Amino acid sequence: MTKMRFEEIGLSEEIYRAVKDMGFEEMTSIQSEAIPEILKGKDVTGQAQTGTGKTASFGIPIVEMVTGEEKQIQAIILCPTRELSIQVAEEIRRIAKYKKDIFVLPIYGGQPIDRQIKALKKGVQIVVGTPGRVIDHIKRKTLKVGNIKILVLDEADEMFDMGFRDDIEFIIEKLPQSRQTVFFSATMPKEILNFAKKYQRDPKFIKVVPKELTVPKVEQYYVELKENMKTEILSRFIDIYNPRLSLVFCNTKKKVDELTLELQGRGYFADGLHGDLKQNQRDKVMNKFRSGNIDILVATDVAARGIDVEDVDMVFNYDVPQDVEYYVHRIGRTARAGREGMAISFVAGGDRYRIRDIEKYTNSKIERIDIPTLKDIEDKQKDILLRNLKEEIVKGKLGKYEKMINILLEEGYSIYDISYALLKFYLKSKKISDHQELESVDFGNIPVRNVNRIYINAGKKKGIRPRHIVAAIVEEAGVPRKYIGDIDVYDKFTFLDVQGDYANQIVKKLNNKKVKGVKIKVELANVKK
């Protein structure tokens, strides 16, 4: 199926604005097939891997159909874990940001139920929650389901594996018969198909099949960094590897424009390509890239479609793609015509989990590499200089410089002194100093496949900061700092990544302990609730 653009499906102005703000240019495969059907009011069963844009597939239609005039709950989305509930709620909030009086509430175990009850009483249109806590509210009559228009089961296979089937059936039996029912699942075992047949009416079945990676000659790497380091790290990689042509992918048109200007300001021959450019402008940029007048092309996924340039040595995922399928398209831009190529993805914050999704989707391994140091750049430039010097010596034709050398020799300087000074002068002219020193970052050596997510029921409103969490883990739990990954502190809760072997130790040692005077509850984020 040909992918559609969001402007083609008749979205309201409010939602279209929100979608543009989120950086979406084109719908993913699952979105192209699912959104129009859900907007029609059809029941849908969708099979797609994590990372293919499923949340927007049901989030956009839900926000379109609910109204702020009605203060009752109109949509319920069931998720297997607290973490996913929070993530889904956040994305739907972004979709609904221009719609008046639309409120989204995540409800899950581990959070005081009184707080959730208070929020529900104020009027909520969309609830995202784990089955256990949703049932709790239904039984308390604090969650009224009589006006539910749509029910979504997200990650249905995982919920069944976690033993939620009975809970889900209990919830469904309480909902209006006239509701719309949507299931999304990475796999579609017989149990889920039978379940769908029982509770859906003439559903539309949609399946997005993962594509095999067809570019085996691409070396795939990722580097962990902070968001504000990306441009500096990109320039370091370019200076070290010195690719003839490189493609840099960003998720938004705005980012393409910003990064292009930053690279040009650093002296690189770079230009940008995105959907807002007119066709003649795009042709001009591509001609410069093909001819080598620019050697760095910064582009969005949509704009890069159809690029067929054989000499692309490197692909940089400046932003990890929002759709895992795009990853395959991106790195396939290198290693053309039997050549080898390299792809490096910049991983900041929660992007680490998207790398795991990509590995699973492509059935390939992405190796972690370190941030290049200034010494790495200097050493590389020395290697390049030595190679160039040897080439010039072989070529000969150095006679025009003989007079200068003789003058220096007559003044008493040795060949060694002259050579040393020339090398020093040349390397200084390469402007290593143009590169920025980076703040100390210790991401540890946490393999991307062996990371556990931990939940803490306190955040910014309690004065909790990352340094307090780190101190507690190191001092109370006895876990070295290098095994602690990203720490995301929200208003009322905190998530952190830790090497799997230490996760249970942290939970055991810190649960019910005080951090900055606050008694905290600590548990694995993917536990059944």
Q: Give the pLDDT of residue 76.
A: 97
Q: Give the pLDDT of residue 442.
A: 45
Q: Give the pLDDT of residue 500.
A: 67
CA distances for 273 relative to 22, 76, 125, 281, 282, angstroms: 18, 40, 40, 9, 6
Residues near 351 by beta carbon (within 8 Å), at least 6 away in sequence: 320, 345
All domains in the chain, ordered by first residue: 6-207 (3.40.50.300), 218-371 (3.40.50.300), 375-434 (no CATH), 451-524 (3.30.70.330)
Q: Token digits for 46?
A: 């969708």
Residues near 33 by beta carbon (within 8 Å), at least 6 away in sequence: 1, 46, 206, 208
CB 49 within 8 A of CB 361: yes
Q: Give the pLDDT of residue 440.
A: 46
Give the integer Cα–Cα distance in Å for 249 and 240: 19
Amino acid identity at 85: S
Give the integer Cα–Cα distance in Å for 78 and 80: 7
Task: List average pLDDT for each run of 10 residues in the chain, which is 529 residues long.
Answer: 76 90 79 93 87 86 91 93 84 91 88 87 93 93 93 90 89 94 89 91 84 65 89 90 90 90 89 84 86 90 70 91 80 70 87 79 84 79 72 68 77 78 62 54 49 86 86 82 78 81 87 88 71
Q: Give the pLDDT of residue 37.
A: 94
Give the integer Cα–Cα distance in Å for 450 and 368: 13
Q: Give the pLDDT of residue 257.
A: 92
Q: State pTM to two decimals.
A: 0.58
Phi, psi dihedral angles at 46 (to 5 degrees): -115, 130
Q: Give the pLDDT of residue 339.
A: 66
Q: Give the pLDDT of residue 271.
A: 93
Q: Give the pLDDT of residue 35.
A: 94
Sign, CA torsion 500/506/512/517 = negative
End-to-end, the C-alpha distance of the chain in Å comes to: 38
Q: Give the pLDDT of residue 444.
A: 44
Amino acid identity at 487: I
Listing DSSP states for 359-394 in one string gives: HHHHT---EE-PPPPHHHHHHHHHHHHHHHHHHHHH
Q: Give the pLDDT of residue 416.
A: 76
CB 81 within 8 A of CB 132: no
